[in-house]
Structure 1
Amino acid sequence: MAAIPSLADLGWARGYTDPDWVRVHAVTGRETVPSRRVWRGRGQPQPLPVRETGLDGFRFSSPRGPVGLPDLFAAAQTDAVLVMHRGAVVLERYLHGYESHVPHFNASAAKSYTGLMAAVLEHQGLLDRHAQVRHYVPELAGTAFGDAEVDHLLHMGTLMSYAGRPYDKALEAQRYFAVLAPQLRPYGYRGPVSIGEHLATARATGAPGTEFRYENGNVEALAAVLRRITGITTSELLGELLWLGIGAEEDAYYLLDGEGVEAACGGFSATLRDVGRLGEMLRRGGAAGDRQVVPEAVARTIASGAPDGYARRVRFPGAPATTPATLSYHDLWWIPNDPYGSFLASGIHGQRLFVSPGLDLVVVHYGSQVMSPVAPQVPLVQVFTELGEHLNGLR
């Protein structure tokens, strides 16, 4: 008799076991529910110079022997990849019919962009990370998020249950999707129909700041704080703080809930090259061309500012318990703790923005890999690091 799947596996029954389905959703999902654009402005795009390199000879040192880029891309179900070294594009590929001008979901990589906006507002003196969230959003008082500090949200430091249910990460992710998309709601659904309603059901099950728990609600509560501080939407804020400054080539988009509020934790889509521009700006200490888009103090401390305690030495979401906990987490960015000061934004199915100042490297990867024990994940961070070392002549 076949083993009965655990409850945590049931969430992937809606097509997520098919890479082609994931790929279609990644590029058309913003067309199936309401979305709001992040305007690129009227200026000319920031140029991306191209430089030829000998990457055809690159081989990743996998446990099963050297692996070339084509085989890596196939294993990772890569939709597109962009590699920039010292400010120039050295590799750009689009696969499976995906086109360069089409926005692609960044999934949870978008969490890091929200963290970046929060850090900028703190630098401007508009946000106190040690204030309780309810100070900014009184409606969240009494919830697991409202009674936490902003800094707890930035480090996934809240413990909660929703609507009195025992907490289960995979199932809560599916319930969050049902809040956003009516077509994902089961028959007779009577749960929350907006992000605000969803957050209002969260109750603390432990003191904030004692444990790392990767949970979408932290990011949505943080986005509510940023909207309250600035008085503008998340789309407008990202446009003003980042998208206009980096010289984006295309508009980006956020999915909206039923009340017109952006899904900040994973509803963002943008083109490969524009996310590359965002990463290159951060690699250069917050500068794009002759514009200082993000304060240098913010950009330079993404990797070095990770605090001791519950946000250090954590695993990627969904990683096996046997995986070494070698990562840190700071302001919604993952920190590999390598010798190069690298940091990355990471999303499900292989969405990555990898920035390595020490390797002069920026990599953007869009993928559609299924999440299953029978589909081993490609170690993209290790691949990117070895790629940077190869480009710098270190291996």
Structure 2
Amino acid sequence: MKKLINLGAAAMTVVMLNITTAGAQQRLPDEIAKGKPSVVPIATQILRWHMNDGDVNAFAFRNMDELFTIRTVPHSGAAWVLPRQDHKLDFSYEFNGKTFIAEEFLERSYTNAFLVMKNGKIVTEIYRNNSDASTRFMGWSMTKSITAMLVGAAVADGYIASIDDPVVKYLPELKKGGYREVTLRQILEMRSGVDYEERYDFANPGIAASNHINALVKNVARFADAGLDIGTAAKPGEVFAYKTIDTAILGWVIERVTGGTVAAYTTEKLWEPLGAEADGFYIMDGKPGVGREFSGAGFNATLRDWARFGQMLVNEGTVDGRQVVNSDWIKTARTPVGSEAGPEGGYGFQFWTREGSEAYKALGLQGQYVYVDPDTQTVMVKLSYFPPADDTPYAETEAFFGALTNWVPK
């Protein structure tokens, strides 16, 4: 018996040695390992590398403050009270020739949290997958719509003389690259013409994928700095091409003209006046003193605070009778420029528009939505975990929008 125990102890020692060795041999994927070394712990880099994967994104998208250095956007004072009149989702919708009841939509479309407002009242608020009212969800490119509101505020405050100014008036560092003749308006419209294909093929990384790796995974570069020596792909103003670098440049402009941080200006011009009930935060592309807020896709907030943002838009910029954002700026931001934007709809100032409707939306990677329909006074917030490279949930969500807009709770 003693011999067996000793053998068991020896076997356990071998197992422990193997675990220790395996831990010591933890390796970065080749795409991350090459290039400039990072001080970010290897385990954290690997988690960031996998955060969009379909088997972990339901969790990662609501715990970004555990993965990144963040800069807080604090709330202050009394929250904007959102009255409620709860109703079941008692309607159906059509998709791909089949009829589904509305409640099926949440599971079918990978939903973490879901809220609907009608005529200024919350009628549905649902949390799933162990999330709750305190959970702060990653907005991804819904952040672009936040940044557009900050640009409007900077114009109103006189920090920006005109959106028809060339961006180099505010960021002369860009004179050597493709932004040298681009205006702020053209950047807002995603018509900068700079050579930055929004494609994330990490096996063969181009400029966008490499920028993601260096700025967000490794924190060895600032995301917006890719604009310093970027090339030109089209004449500014002529071609719509969606690219996160454009919005990152707008965030850099906000930082430069205000003399502070993007987070501080978000707090002053949006989050406090909005009456947010919880702190928001931006993920950073580096530590404080070095990093910047990821103004193209890095803002996080609670479900209800995303809804407050949407209701402010429906109210043409007002909150409890106070003008928070200039109403003319919102009208311009939600007006599509041209008609060739893409399958998601038209595009205004960092908002997607809906063809044949006054509805528009802030839209983020893998199913983040603040959908606004002024005609029916509808706001829908959907915070999701769509699988990567699967367009089906987007198409089904668009079908659901149509039914939701026409739904009259009884």
* Matched-pair contact (CA < 8 Å) for 2:198–2:244: no
TM-score (norm 2): 0.81
CA deviation vs aligned residue, 1:248-268 (integer Å, no higher than 9, x gap): 010000011222211001111
Work out whether 1:141 is the aligned partner of 2:171.
Answer: no
Matched residue, 2:360: 343
Q: How does 1:134-213 map to 2 (within 5 A)?
A: 134-161=168-195, 167=197, 169-171=199-201, 172-183=207-218, 193-213=221-241
Distance in 1, Cα, partners of 2:230 & 2:184: 16
Would the alpha carbon gap of residues 136 and 18 (structure 1) be closer, same or farther in structure 2, given more than 3 Å must change? closer
Paired residue type of 1:126: Y
Stretch deviating more after TM superposition (171-180 or 259-268): 171-180
Does 2:75 match 1:48? Answer: no
Query: Residues of 1 paired with 2:122 and 2:138: CA distance?
Result: 22
- What do residues 190-234 of structure 1 show as CA deviations (whole Å, max 9, x unaligned)? xx6122432223121321112111111100111111222211211
Task: Give the AA of the match of 1:240.
Answer: E
Compared with structure 1, are the counterparts of its residues 377 and 286 closer, same or farther at alpha carbon in structure 2 (3 Å cutoff)? closer
| Residue 381 of structure 2 corresponds to residue 364 of structure 1 | yes
Counterpart selection for 2:298 from 252, 267, 272: 267
Question: Greater CA deviation, 107-116 or 197-206?
Answer: 197-206
Cα distance change on mapping 1:240 and 1:111 into 2, 3 Å = same
Q: Over residues 332-373 of structure 1, what are the superposed CA-to-partner deviations in whole Å (9 max), with x where a residue is unaligned?
A: 11111333x211100111000011110110011100011234
Are residues 1:283 and 2:300 paired?
no
Query: Is residue 270 of structure 2 the alignment partner of residue 242 of structure 1?
Result: yes
1:387 aligns with 2:404: yes
| 2:131 matches 1:101 | no
Return the alpha-carbon distance in structure 2 between the equivalents of residues 326 and 39 of structure 1: 32
After superposition, the Cα gap between the structure-2 partners of 1:134 and 1:31, relative to the gap in structure 1 and judged at 3 Å, is same
Residue 4 of structure 1 corresponds to which residue in structure 2?
none
- Name the SS of the counterpart of 1:359 in structure 2: coil
The amino acid of 1:144's aligned partner reads G
| Rounded Cα–Cα distance in structure 1 between residues aligned with 2:55 and 2:95 | 26
Secondary structure in 2 matching 1:160: coil
* 1:82 paired residue number: 115
Q: CA deviation at 1:161?
A: 3.4
Partner AA of 1:141 in structure 2: K
Q: Residue 364 of structure 1 aligns to a residue in which SS? A: strand
Q: CA deviation at 1:69?
A: 2.4
The residue aligned with 2:17 is none
Which residue of structure 2 aligns with residue 321 of structure 1? Answer: none
- 1:314 paired with 2:341, answer yes
Separation in 1, partners of 2:302, 2:101 = 25
Cα distance between partner residues in 2 of 1:67 and 1:354: 21
Q: For residue 375 of structure 1, report the CA deviation from its aligned partner.
A: 5.6
CA RMSD of aligned residues (A): 2.4
Contact 1:342/1:354, CA 8 A, preserved across alignment: yes
Q: Find the counterpart in structure 2 of residue 10 from structure 1.
A: none
Secondary structure, counterpart of 2:62 in structure 1: helix
1: CA distance between counterparts of 2:315 and 2:174? 37
Residues 1:360 and 1:168: Cα distance change in structure 2 (over 3 Å): closer
Residue matched to 2:103: 70
Give yes or no for contact 1:254–1:267 (8 Å, CA) kept in 2: yes
SS state at 2:104 partner: helix
Distance 1:182 1:380, change over 3 A: closer
2:166 touches 2:181 (CA, 8 Å); kept in 1? yes
State how 1:4-43 maps to structure 2 within 5 Å: 14-15=49-50, 18-41=53-76, 43=77
The yes-or-no answer on 1:300 pairing with 2:331 is yes
Structure 1 stretch 261-270 or stretch 192-201: which is displaced more?
192-201
Compute the displacement of 1:143 (Å): 1.6
SS at match of 1:145: coil
**Contact in 1 for aligned 2:51/2:61 (Cα 8 Å):** no
| Aligned counterparts of 1:302 and 1:181: Cα–Cα separation in 2 | 28
Counting matched residue pairs gives: 355
Q: Does the CA-based 8 Å contact 1:145-1:218 persist in structure 2?
A: no
Q: Give, as a single letter, the amino acid of the residue that structure 2 aligns with 1:177.
A: H
Under a length normalisation based on structure 1, what TM-score does the superposition of the two structures give?
0.83
SS in 1 for 2:389: coil
- Describe the SS at the equivalent of 1:141: helix
Q: Identify if the C-alpha distance between structure 1 residues 376 and 52 changes in structure 2 by more than 3 Å, giving closer, same or farther.
A: closer
Counterparts in 2 of 1:17 and 1:228: CA distance versus 1, 3 Å: closer
Structure 1 residues 158 and 374: CA distance shift in structure 2, 3 A: closer
Q: Per the alignment, in what secondary structure is the counterpart of residue 116 of structure 1?
A: helix
Aligned residue for 2:296, secondary structure, equals coil
> What is the percentage of aligned positions where both structures have the same residue?
24
